[in-house]
Structure formats: C-alpha cells, structure tokens
Amino acid sequence: MDLVNRYVYAVTRSLPEKQRADIEKELRTLIDDMIEENDEPASYESKAQKALLELGDPEILADNYRGSKRYLIGPQFYDKYILILKIVLVAVFAGVTIAIAAEGFFTKGKNELDIVKDYLGALFSGGLQAFAWTTISFMIAERAYMNTADKGKVEKDFMEKSVWSLSQLPVIPEKKALIPIHEPVISIIFSTIFLILLYSTPKVFSAYITFESNTVVIPVFNQQAMQGFRILLISILLLLVLKEVLKLYSRRWNQKLSVAVAVISGISTILTLYIFTDASVWNPDFPGEIMKHMKLTFDFIDPWAKIKSGFIALIVITGVIDIITALYKGIRYNVIK
C-alpha cells in the first residue's frame, strides 16, 4: 500500500491543484482494478508492484493527464509559471493603479487625457517587465535548482521515455515539511506592489498632515535619490520572486531548497540595506517639515534618526530570521525528492 500511495503522490504532485483530487481518485481506482484482474498466486504487494510497473513512470503519466506537452519553461514548471505570471500581472496592475492614483493626487491640475495615457503606458511597461521578471525567475529556478542528474532524469523521462523502476518513487513528506501554496503567492503579491510603488512613486510613502481642510504631504524618501536605485529595486524584486518560485516548485522543505532560500534572502537583505543605509535616499527636510506643520515643541531630529535606525534594524532582523528559519526547516524536514 505504501508503494501505491507513493506512486499516486508522484503522479499528482506536479498537476494543477484543481485536478489532483479527481485524478487521484481515478488513478487509485485504476490501480485497484489492475490488482484485482491479476489472477496470479501472488501477494497483494507483488501484484501492486506489477501494476505500477505496467503504468510506468509517474512523471510521464502526469504529463498524459495534463493532455498536452508544454515545454516553454519545462513540464514540471509550466503550471506554476502560468499561475505566478497571472499573480504578478495582477499585482503589477494593482501597484500601477495605486501609483497613478497617488501621482494624480500629488500633481494637481494634470490633464485627464495625460493621466489616462500615463496609466496605459505604465500598465504596458509594467506588464512587459512582469513577464520578463517572472520568466527569468523560472529560467533561473529550472537551471540552478535542478542539478545535472535531475536534468538528465527529466530529459529521459519526458523525451526518451526511459526505463523506470519503483525504487525511483519519491518519499511522501510529512505535512509540516510541505509549503502551503498561499504563502509564496501572498509574498509575491505584496512584494511586487511594494517595490513597484517604491520604484515608480516613492512619494506615496509620506506623512499626510491635514488641518483646516488642507493636506500637507511630506515625503519620507528623496525621490531623485531613489530613482538612482531603480536597478537595485528590480534586482531585489527578481530575487524575491525567484525565492518564492523555488518554494512553489519544491512545495516541501529540503536541504537544497533551504540553502537556496537562505542565500537569496541574504543577498536581497544586503541589497536592501545598501539602499536604505544611504543617507541620500531619505528626505533631509522630513523632520523639519514635521516639526513645522505639526507644531511640535520638541526637536524631532533625534526621534527621526532612531526611527530610521529601527527600520534598518528591522530589515536585518527580518533577513536573519528568514535565513535561520529556512535552514532550520531544511534540516528538520529534509526529504528526498
């Protein structure tokens, strides 16, 4: 029975979520029928082994259940690629919409036709970049995460229909080792929206002070200085998407995934620190403007410096926790694919 469970798991793990339950039920019925039709005087385990060998490589069977071969990114990555591409495009749409709305708020008297043109242009540009980021992330994931042996196996399985044996069935991981699909999806959505806003409209991150029906907007960041870090912001987004793509591909913790996640988290944390430890990205007039418009009776410069230091410390702590958590889960729940 363990072999049957492992075989069913191997077939369904790479299929779209909405198809898995039906296909698992159909596959188990098929295997049971094959075992019952075997009239040989053999044990259930022996009959099950024969049935599974007749069905063949689970990866090839999974490809047949999909109904067609899709090699744009790779058979094992394609469904996740389409899913993440849709999610990123929706996040880009949300981010661009917020950014253009904020820009319209900050720029009074702007022609409505110009706003529509800017909006459509930003959507088109953002959509193309989202497609590029997602595709590059999956290309890197497919080539970097899979070692030479894995690649050879995939090529044989899908191109040459190579000989397969029961010993190749993966071990079913415990539930705590599994990565819920909503975790990387949510991370991609919020990371994309946040970095798009920081990339295109950093002025949205401001202090809004309202008095006498007027609103004063005091930007936290120096917009001109932030524009100089656009390449780094795109690089950080690419790394964050790549990290979540690896999680979606693996769907369970193992040592290889944990090391990859830890390395990517470390690099993205360093790049983030490089940006926000640069004094020029912060609006030098922010504390003075806050004191002026809020009519503070104390010097806000020192508290503002502590807030910035706390923000940088939060980046470090978050990065360290992410790295330690990934390595712990990789060691604690390591499973063999």
Q: Residue 237: exposed, middle, or buried by beta-carbon count in 10 A (0-12, 13-18, 19+)?
A: buried
Contact 87, 244 (CB under 8 A): no
**Run of H or E including 219:** strand 214-219
- pLDDT per position as a tens digit, 74-89: 666 777 788 888 888 8
Residue 42: per-residue pLDDT = 82
- Whether the predicted pLDDT of 204 surpasses 90: no
Amino acid found at 199: Y
36: pLDDT confidence band, cut at 50, 70 and 90?
confident
- Whether the predicted pLDDT of 261 surpasses 50: yes
189: pLDDT confidence band, cut at 50, 70 and 90?
confident
Q: Residue 266: exposed, middle, or buried by beta-carbon count in 10 A (0-12, 13-18, 19+)?
A: middle
- Whether the predicted pLDDT of 192 surpasses 80: yes
Higher-scoring residue by pLDDT: 104, 337: 104
Residue 181: per-residue pLDDT = 82
Mean pLDDT of 152-156: 48
Residue 107: per-residue pLDDT = 63
Mean pLDDT of 237-252: 86
Question: What's the CA gap between 260 and 228, in Å, rounded?
Answer: 29
Residue 15: per-residue pLDDT = 76
- With a CB cutoff of 8 Å and minimum separation 6, the contacts of 102 are 197, 201, 203, 204
229: pLDDT confidence band, cut at 50, 70 and 90?
very high
- Whether the predicted pLDDT of 6 surpasses 80: yes
Task: List the single range of 45-59, 65-79, 170-184, 209-223 with lowest mean pLDDT.
Answer: 65-79
- pLDDT per position as a tens digit, 280-335: 999 999 999 999 888 888 888 999 999 999 999 999 999 999 999 999 998 888 75
Amino acid found at 95: G
Residue 221 has φ and ψ, to the nearest 5°, of: -110, 155
- Report the length, in residues, of the chain: 337
161: pLDDT confidence band, cut at 50, 70 and 90?
very low
Residue 308: per-residue pLDDT = 95
The count of other CB atoms within 10 Å of the CB of residue 80 is 22
Question: What's the CA gap between 324 and 318, in Å, rounded?
Answer: 10
Residue 236: per-residue pLDDT = 92
For the record, the structure tokens of 293 come out as 């418009």
Report how far apart, in Å, the C-alpha atoms of 43 and of each of 40, 46, 47 are. 9, 5, 6
Task: Map 18-31 to HEC letters.
Answer: HHHHHHHHHHHHHH
- Whether the predicted pLDDT of 121 surpasses 60: yes
Q: Give the bridge partners for 219, in sequence order.
A: 206
Question: What's the CA gap between 85 and 99, in Å, rounded?
Answer: 21
Contact 310, 302 (CB under 8 A): no
> Per mean pLDDT, which of 21-30, 56-65, 161-170, 308-317 is the most reliable?
308-317
Contact 73, 14 (CB under 8 A): no
Question: What's the CA gap between 336 and 228, in Å, rounded?
Answer: 44
